[in-house]
Chain A
Amino acid sequence: MAQTKPNYLPRAVSRVQRGRESSLSACSFHAASINPFLKSLNRNLKPIYSPAPRPPLLIRRRRRSMAFSKDQLLARLQELKIEFLSCDHPAVMTVEEQAKYVGHLGGALSKNLFLKDKKHRLYIISALANTKVDLKILSQRLGLGKGGLRMAPEEALPEILHVALGSVTPFSLINESARSVSLLLDKGFKSQRYCLFHPLTNEVTIALTPSDFDKFLLSIGREPAYVDLEDCPVVGKDNPPDLAYLVPAEALNLPGGADKVPPTSAPAQTNATLEQKTKQPTQKPKEPSKEQKQKSGKDKINADAVADSTNVEKFVEKVLEKVSNVFISELSKQSNAEDGNIKDHMLEGVKQRVSSDLLSMTMTLKNSVYAQGFHAGIESTLYPLANKKIVERK
């Protein structure tokens, strides 16, 4: 491992050295004993770990529904016993800039693209810095047709990934709001010793081994999907899109800049999605009264979440969507000769025939469950009174 002279920017070094003595010594011991790479590092650059994880479990649980911060992410990595190198630097917006500060680490820099397709499904593509990523080809491989992939709207970054511009990173998938974002990883990462990513802020870069990175992904319920991003297979009748299985099942309601369908058209759109799109407040990343807005926004989001989870039509829609996606991908695996159109048509027919019954059954379930809860509520209210009478009589 070639050593590089510590002639990178003094600013970076001084920030590193400013870490707490005790934790530094403890950490560096820990690091040095296990990480041979670190032994070879210039002594000046000592690995720092984040400050101690927030102890009160109560607070952490509540935070889970809010955005994760860099410190919380690093704390989580520590919990998972994932070793990583962390390097602070001024905010960087491009890979080239980032390389200036952390190139010496000898790990693989990543470029991260946050994309969306025409149906408002979101993707993060994380590639090695020198891998060529052709969006047109990827779009076809995902089964989205030509030109189906675009950059996601700016507002989606703080809204869904909870990161600022220039900080897209696979680590942002730790957020609940990003659960439907699909992650495509460059298979080139697997052969690297270290992969470099932003830990939710572009003022820091962390380096970790590919296997530890996989460990993290598995811990947030993600199956790491490594793909040869430079491969350009011809997608056609005999060759179904090979990455179709990575298309998310759920589309997200993107704030503001999403392709809005004018209310006069598309009677097929359900009333629910129309309402939600106009309801969503567009959150600008830098607002002074963001705290207040976030709080009332959160109440609204909670109320919307309840309305969503009790909505029978949405439920049935999701069920049918899930089943049809899986069905399509299974079909694609089995018989390549089927035409995509026939499959869609068949699915539409199935959905039509099964919808009414599913809706009726789900409404029955909802009503029965409510009735039981209602009954329980009444009983629990009457119970202490009934008990009191018995006691008094004695």
Chain B
Amino acid sequence: MASTTGETLAAAEPIADGRTEEGEEEQVVNPWEVSAKGGKIDYDKLVDKFGCQRLDESLIQRFERITGRRAHVFLRRGLFFAHRDLSDILDAYERGEKFYLYTGRGPSSESLHLGHLVPFMFTKYLQDVFKVPLVIQLTDDEKCMWKGLSVEESERLARENAKDIIACGFDVERTFIFADFSYMSPPIYKNIVRIANCVTGNKIVGIFGLTLEDYGGKFFFPYIQAAPSFPSSFPHIFSGKYSKLRCLIPCAIDQDPYFRMTRDVAPRLSYHKPALIESKFFPALQGESGKMSASDPNSAIYVTDSLKDIKNKVNRYAFSGGQDTIEKQRKYGANLEVDVPVKYLNFFLDDDAELLSIKEKYGSGAMLTGEVKARLIEVLSEIVERHQRARAAVTEETVDAFMAVRPLPRMFG
């Protein structure tokens, strides 16, 4: 399925800072910056530029057929919209060949918002329906290098973030969480060096837009993020018949550059190319102008928000596509294209019928902005409350258990 053609790094690479030859400013999507002219990201162009494939209806139906249950709401509503080699993974799974999941987080701050949880919620769904193991990388070294945090602070943040990740409901029998600083050890370091021997500095500059002014660690870090895609990095989990296990990486689309590089390296180390399933960016409360930002507290719903905070934020800051007055609203209806509450409901409201009804009524004017926002507040409150309850139950021992280097005997059970 076109996994080897057209994927050379040279062909797929945009010029890293987003400018075309004419000097025109295009949208910028890379692991450290996401912005677009007019605020709206053109995902079709992005998919073309990166060279990945769109996740279409037939794949979603295939998901449902193989797993025997309804696809996750993020799949159905197109939040996870692109992939690389997903059909190969599904083919292999149908043949009885397993795979493992790999995702991660850069622990730059203690406060997580719902946008951060999106890949984890989806990964949990994948873990449940396919019954496969999962490794989660906490890149405390990356944040040390890019954000100038001290090593100790990064480590602390990694542990705190681990608690929120655990609260998403991962199964301890199948999940291994590790932080780069504490997990660095012979198996994974050897893989990192093997990968490093396959990718020149020029390529790194091409992919990540680094210059000689940047600290050397930044050149080295991509190899660290690539290494968990190879099962031999975790010999305590994947040994024997699982030493060449396939890997599926759910992530946001801005992480694609790392894994393009990894996919290029994989065959040279005789591993399967890791498959990817990629998501769009979760819209900020103020509207479609890029990712939610951890630095602006009103751009997102945080997992530590109280019910009152959620109500306040949605009512005051969520960008509405409704008309200015009630009369106009009743007459013309709302602009569903830009309305943020409807976008949020699109991703968090599981009931298809109810969503359709809300869209119809709101678009025709039968429903008011306040009502839509009220429903959104309900939905978000439930999610946040559940998360907070689970988070409160996570102890240091639980984190230790998830992060212990231990075999997972029933990871496919």
Contacts and interface: CB of A to CB of B under 8 A. Distances in A.
A binds B: yes
Most buried by A among B68, B173, B404: B68
B60 to A, nearest CB: 11
B172 A269 contact: no
Interface in A266-285: 266-271, 274
Interface stretch (A318-326, A340-348, A364-372): A364-372
Interface stretch (A11-19, A61-69, A305-313): A305-313
Contacts of B128: 313
Interface in B162-206: 166-167, 169-173
Interface string A297-308: 000000100110
B64 A366 contact: no
Given A359-B169, A371-B172, A375-B401, A310 B410 contact: yes
A271 B401 contact: no
Contacts of B170: 363, 367
A306 B167 CA distance: 24
Contacts of A268: 69-70
Interface string B215-230: 0000000000000000
Interface string B377-399: 00000100010011001110110
Given A367-B166, A367-B172, A269 B413 contact: no
Given A367-B398, A375-B400, A269 B68 contact: yes
A357 interface: yes
A370 B173 contact: yes
A356 B166 contact: no
Interface in B54-112: 64-65, 67-70
A361 B169 CA distance: 9
A303 B404 CA distance: 24
Contact of A271 (B67, B172, B397): B67
Interface string B313-342: 000000000000000000000000000000
A366 B393 CA distance: 11
Contact of A371 (B386, B389, B401): B401
A264 interface: yes
Contacts of A357: 386
B410 A270 contact: no
A270 B413 CA distance: 15
Interface string A347-386: 0000000001101110110111011101100000000000
Contacts of A303: 413
B413 to A, nearest CB: 4
A271 B93 CA distance: 13
Interface in A239-281: 263-264, 266-271, 274
A359 B172 CA distance: 14
Contacts of A310: 173, 410, 413
B131 interface: yes
A337 to B, nearest CB: 29
B218 to A, nearest CB: 35
B266 interface: no
Nearest to B393: A364
A153 B128 CA distance: 32
Nearest to A359: B169
B172 A366 contact: yes
Contact of B68 (A271, A306, A307, A372): A271
A127 to B, nearest CB: 39
Contact of B69 (A270, A356, A366, A375): A270
A371 B397 contact: yes
B64 to A, nearest CB: 5
B129 interface: yes
A357 B384 CA distance: 11
Contacts of B67: 271
Contacts of B395: 368, 371
B65 A264 contact: yes
Contacts of A370: 172-173, 401
Given A364-B390, A371-B397, A271 B171 contact: no
B128 to A, nearest CB: 7
A215 B190 CA distance: 69
Contact of A312 (B171, B386, B398, B402): B171
A361 B65 CA distance: 28
Contacts of A372: 397
Interface string A220-239: 00000000000000000000
Contacts of A274: 68
Interface in B346-396: 382, 386, 389-390, 393-395
Given A269-B69, A270-B68, A307-B413, A374 B390 contact: no
A271 B70 CA distance: 11
Given A363-B171, A364-B390, A366-B171, A375 B68 contact: no
Contact of B129 (A271, A359, A360): A271
B69 A374 contact: no
Interface string A124-146: 00000000000000000000000
A313 B167 CA distance: 17
Interface string A142-169: 0000000000000000000000000000
A374 B386 contact: no
Given A267-B64, A374-B404, A375-B397, A360 B69 contact: no
A241 to B, nearest CB: 30
A303 B410 CA distance: 9
Nearest to A356: B386
A209 B104 CA distance: 68
Given A307-B410, A307-B413, A372-B397, 14 more contacts: A264-B65, A271-B68, A312-B171, A361-B389, A363-B169, A363-B170, A364-B167, A364-B393, A366-B172, A367-B394, A371-B398, A371-B402, A374-B400, A374-B401
- Which 3 A-B pairs give the minimum distances between C-beta atoms? A371-B401, A371-B398, A307-B413
13 contacts: A263-B65, A267-B65, A270-B69, A271-B129, A271-B131, A307-B413, A310-B173, A310-B413, A356-B386, A368-B393, A368-B395, A370-B401, A371-B395
Interface of B: 64-65, 67-70, 128-129, 131, 166-167, 169-173, 382, 386, 389-390, 393-395, 397-398, 400-402, 404, 406, 410, 413
